[in-house]
Amino acid sequence: MKIICIGRNYTAHIEELKNKKPSEPVVFLKPDTSILLKKQPFFIPDFSNDVHHEIELIVKINRIGKHIDPKFAHKYYDEVSVGIDFTARDVQSELRAKGLPWECSKAFDGATVLGKWVSKSKFDNILDVNFKLFKNDEVVQDGFTKLMLYSVDELISYVSKYFTLKIGDIIFTGTPAGVGPVAAGDQLKGFLEKEEMFYIKVK
């Protein structure tokens, strides 16, 4: 399986990192080895002094697809959750300044947190739900999927032009504003609407 991630999909987050609004979705991949194992803490890697949390709505692909029309994209996922796209911001900034790929800042072991999967049928409209990240019981990111520049269905269509989507592939749909550093001892909780989807400790 592969993990396909979208960058710069919320205007307020683009502004907080002083990036430009993309004319097309920003896409990158993470390997399956980046998935944080269940019930394991997240260890801050020694190559970074500035690892940021990025909570994102995630969807799991349930059938093979290529060149998917946006109007049929909703048929390609049943399960949704929230996850964290951990980012070594200092490493990313250095790589970006050199015009290099940024995988070392985002695809390292443990950098992908997956919440528990739930059926999208639990929600009236997954394109209009709220999700939140709590750090030590304080809300640090508060996102609304309707504020995405590119909706989940548009993203599925777009990425399927380049990559065949397979069963079990996961798409991270971009983070809203409020990204920030994590420190040893932090506790992170992710919510999709009112339901807790993950809880992790940072070490």
Report the interface residues with Mg ion, using CB under 5 A: 54, 85, 175
Minimum distance from CB of 64 to Mg ion (Å)? 25
Residue whose CB is less far from Mg ion, 65 or 143: 143
Q: Which is nearer to Mg ion, 58 or 126 (CB)?
A: 58
Distance separating alpha carbons of residues 161 and 195, to the nearest angstrom: 33
CB of 172 to Mg ion, least distance (A): 6
Smaller CB distance to Mg ion: residue 35 or 121? Answer: 35
Nearer to Mg ion, 92 or 175 (CB): 175
Q: Please, which residues have CB within 8 angstroms of residue 48's CB and are 6 or more apart in sequence?
A: 88, 89, 90, 91, 105
**Contact present, 29 and 196 (Cβ < 8 Å):** no
* Residue 75: CB minimum distance to Mg ion, A: 25
200 vs 9: CA distance, rounded Å: 25
Minimum distance, C-beta of residue 83 to Mg ion, in the bound complex (Å):
9
